[in-house]
Structure 1
Amino acid sequence: MTAPSRHVGGTNGFPLSAPLLSVENVTLEYQVPGRVVRATQNVSFDVWEADRFILLGASGCGKSTLLKAVGGFIAPREGRILLDGHPVHGPGPDRVVVFQEFDQLPPWKTVRENVAFPARVSGHLGRKEAAERAEHFIEKVGLTRFADAYPNTLSGGMKQRVAIARALAMEPRVLLMDEPFAALDALTRRKMQEELLALWEEVRFTLLFVTHSIEEALVVGNRIALLSPHPGRMRAEINSHEWDLTSGGSPAFQAAANRIHGLLFEEAGADGASHE
């Protein structure tokens, strides 16, 4: 499938178009016993259709809180979030979240039932169409042989494949992923990253992905927002496609990782945000 026309900085041959998702000067707060915590401060970024947009930062930078706000689970204290030009008010099937926890799958449902169920009960699809779409995405994530298996018989990586298939079966406008591979071992994590990219090449969904791993951000994303902590502010936005990152061990990849590390940590005392 050919990627939709979209803005990627205005210098790479793509026509300019309106962003699919806009986060505009968003400040987020949440309550803890005895005080209010400010998670983010005036964060702004745009996501275009078929982007693989990464929110990258250390613990405490508000990246997961931002993802929840895009999902409609948290309302901004200040600013606004727009999807297709309309303000986000509450959760909806146009934004589906894949979490890192494996307990999101009802254990009494088979893989097939787990994938089909959300699309059917939301009223998004009829029973027959939901079942057909479930079969389609189960095949896409390589679990056809395990369609009748229950979650307790699956490995962690396989459970995340089920969660991804279930999310894509909803055909969301934006797929939200909150450190989905963090609980996996290193080898399985890299395999899941590669499988996610292969799936994106075929389906071309729009992805908003949270991670604290610089390497994962460079592998998965085509655009990376760097967030400074306490509260989270935009440190920089990077178009990772500007580097030739053909191998995780290449000098170019390491140079990119070092540059991002510097922006996140060595320049953490600098004011404002920069763009590359």
Structure 2
Amino acid sequence: MNADSNTPLLAVNGVTLQYKTPRHLVTATYRVDFSVHQGDRYVILGPSGCGKSTLLKAVGGFMRPVEGDIRIRGRDIVAPGPDRMMVFQEFEQLMPWKTVFQNVLFPMKVTRKFGRAEAKERAEAAIAKVNLAQFRDVYPHMLSGGMKMRVAIARAMALEPDILLMDEPFAALDALTRRTMQQELLSLWEQLRFTVLFVTHSIEEAIIVGSRILVLSPHPGRVRAELDTGSLDYGNIDRPEFGAMSKRIHDLLFANERAKEATA
């Protein structure tokens, strides 16, 4: 955890990803490069079909690049592992018949990474860190969306992963709930400073959630730019700086369309 700040936690080097459909071999991304450092809120942003979710699957170890490599702490990623934990959409992956404590404990029992006593201690500690100790014995249907997210993150963090992978976790939510969940995530990050790789197609969400943003082109995904969002967040969403960043990203995303219109 105290590695040189110049050494990336996650390094994606020249990665081309492909998958087969019944009729075609699809190239999802083409020679993508980026790196994620400890404590980053790193966002992959792009239009539908640009390969951002496919990239997340590859980081998770569920598919291999046809070109390039993906490394975590200098080791090639060749399969899924507890050093990379996925937090799924809407957080409905919590088992409804298990309490908060049982949900957080479950992955540690399955992986057998820790002994029984240590696993229980870690579950209790993780629940306390996300401020849900008083809801330890509550079932998921009794929790709000933000609380479910905290349980999902506690469950992941109890295994001490190097990075959390989040694939458009708020995409299916209404605007108000989505805003609340984004604030919950940022509040939790301020407390725990975990590393997150977050996929979205929303420019506003990318700026709010991310400390750095990788902008991908339309299919197949190529790197358009990597941007540092600085201090942009909810507190300055109405300020010119936020609008300028949003416009810059919009222009990067739709550069091809503008070029086509200019030559039409």
Fold shared per TM-score above 0.5: yes
TM alignment of 1:1-276, pairs within 5 A: 6=5, 17-241=6-230, 246-267=235-256
TM-align CA RMSD: 2.2
CA contact under 8 A between 2:213 and 2:226: conserved in structure 1?
Answer: yes
Structure 1, residues 193-235: CA drift from partner, whole Å, max 9, x if none?
2222222222221111111111111111111000112111101
| Matched residue SS, 1:104 | coil
Deviation at 1:107, TM superposition (A): 2.1
Change (3 A) 1:166 1:91: same
Which 5+ residue runs of structure 2 have no aligned equivalent? 260-264
CA contact under 8 A between 1:244 and 1:252: conserved in structure 2?
Answer: no
Deviation at 1:174, TM superposition (A): 1.0
Q: Which residue of 2 aligns with 1:273?
A: none
Change (3 A) 1:143 1:185: farther
Deviation at 1:142, TM superposition (A): 3.3
One-letter identity of the residue aligned with 1:240: T
CA contact under 8 A between 2:207 and 2:232: conserved in structure 1?
Answer: no
Structure 1, residues 63-90: CA drift from partner, whole Å, max 9, x if none?
1110010010111111100111111010
Change (3 A) 1:202 1:102: closer
Which 5+ residue runs of structure 1 have no aligned equivalent? 7-16, 271-276
For 2:90 and 2:22, how far apart are their aligned partners in 1? Answer: 25
- The count of aligned residue pairs is 259
Identity %: 60
Q: Compute the TM-score of the two structures, normalised by the length of structure 1.
A: 0.86
One-letter identity of the residue aligned with 2:18: E
One-letter identity of the residue aligned with 1:43: V
Structure 1, residues 230-257: CA drift from partner, whole Å, max 9, x if none?
1111011001117687422222111111
CA contact under 8 A between 2:216 and 2:253: conserved in structure 1?
Answer: yes
Deviation at 1:25, TM superposition (A): 0.6
CA contact under 8 A between 2:146 and 2:184: conserved in structure 1?
Answer: no
For 2:221 and 2:46, how far apart are their aligned partners in 1? Answer: 9
For 2:218 and 2:137, how far apart are their aligned partners in 1? Answer: 44
For 1:130 and 1:212, how far apart are their aligned partners in 2? Answer: 36
Structure 1, residues 35-85: CA drift from partner, whole Å, max 9, x if none?
211111110111111111110011101111100100101111111001111
For 1:129 and 1:219, how far apart are their aligned partners in 2? Answer: 36
One-letter identity of the residue aligned with 2:240: P
Change (3 A) 1:269 1:65: farther
CA contact under 8 A between 1:181 and 1:189: conserved in structure 2?
Answer: yes
| Matched residue SS, 2:243 | helix
One-letter identity of the residue aligned with 1:214: I
For 2:169 and 2:150, how far apart are their aligned partners in 1? Answer: 10
